[in-house]
């Protein structure tokens, strides 16, 4: 099995894990099962980033989404009494708009994919080259060129966390 086949197999495996677990997360009856399916979805997306050679995005996906948001979501679900153990069954009348929206989305994506003039040069072989780490260049950019937006985002996240803690403690006054 050549290198290209292995990379494609890894990409499609990660995509299948991400799509399959996202479907499970959306259709699970118990919210805890949905949260753990979301965990597999996040890991599948991180795998896609890793296969595509974006090491920084893969690590950021795991750290931010799996390590932060999903853990917060699971603790929030497990510590509140207001969330029911099982989701209510969706009324059949809501399936029709969902199917129409999904069909329109699929048709729009198919039209965009088939209508795009993709670069088709069969005689040119593009060598992607060796994968090189991108974290050093991104870190250098964040601390030089994009320092102000980076700090603004961190302060904004801090304010949001303080606000969430305030609301969670029971007070908005």
User: Bigger pLDDT: 91 or 31?
Assistant: 31
Q: State the average pLDDT over residues 70-75.
A: 76
Residue 72: other Cβ atoms inside 10 A: 12
The band of 121, judged by pLDDT with boundaries at 50, 70 and 90, is: low
Kindly tell me the burial class for residue 60, based on how many C-beta atoms sit within 10 Å of its own C-beta (0-12, 13-18, 19 or more).
middle
Q: What percentage of the chain has pLDDT greater than the value 70? A: 81
Asked if residue 77 lies in contact with residue 83, where contact means CB atoms within 8 angstroms, the answer is yes
Question: For the segment 42-54, what is each residue's pLDDT rounded down to a tens digit?
Answer: 999 999 999 988 8
What is the domain class of 1-114 according to CATH?
mainly alpha
Q: What is the pLDDT of residue 142?
A: 85
Which pair of tokens denotes residue 133? 């780490």
Q: What is the CA angle 38-39-40, rounded to 5?
A: 90
Q: What is the pLDDT of residue 171?
A: 61
pTM score over 0.85: no
Q: State the average pLDDT over residues 106-110.
A: 95
The band of 116, judged by pLDDT with boundaries at 50, 70 and 90, is: confident
Report the 3 state secondary structure along 93-143.
Answer: HHHHHHHHHHHHHHHHHHHHHHHCCCCCCCCCCCCCCCCCCCHHHHHHHHH
User: Bigger pLDDT: 71 or 108?
Assistant: 108
Q: What is the pLDDT of residue 52?
A: 86
CA distance 15 to 43: 10
- Give residue limits of the domains in the chain: 1-114, 134-173
> In the predicted model, what is the mean pLDDT of the chain?
82
CA-CA-CA-CA dihedral for 148, 153, 154, 158, to nearest 10: 140
Window from 9-18, 25-34, 65-74 with minimum mean pLDDT: 65-74
Window from 58-62, 74-78, 110-114, 117-121 with minimum mean pLDDT: 117-121
């Amino acid at each position: 099995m050549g290198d290209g086949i292995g990379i494609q197999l890894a990409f499609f495996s990660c995509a299948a894990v991400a799509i399959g677990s996202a479907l499970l997360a959306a259709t699970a009856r118990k919210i805890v099962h949905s949260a753990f399916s979301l965990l597999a979805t996040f890991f599948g997306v991180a795998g896609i980033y890793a296969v595509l050679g974006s090491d920084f995005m893969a690590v950021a996906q795991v750290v931010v989404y799996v390590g932060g948001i999903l853990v917060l979501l699971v603790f929030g679900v497990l510590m509140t009494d207001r969330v029911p153990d099982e989701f209510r069954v969706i009324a059949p009348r809501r399936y029709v708009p969902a199917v129409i929206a999904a069909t329109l989305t699929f048709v729009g994506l198919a039209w965009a994919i088939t209508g795009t003039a993709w670069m088709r040069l069969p005689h040119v072989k593009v060598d992607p080259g060796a994968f090189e780490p991108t974290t050093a260049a991104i870190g250098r950019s964040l601390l030089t060129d994009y320092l102000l937006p980076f700090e603004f985002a961190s302060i904004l996240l801090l304010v949001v966390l303080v606000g969430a803690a305030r609301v969670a403690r029971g007070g908005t006054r």
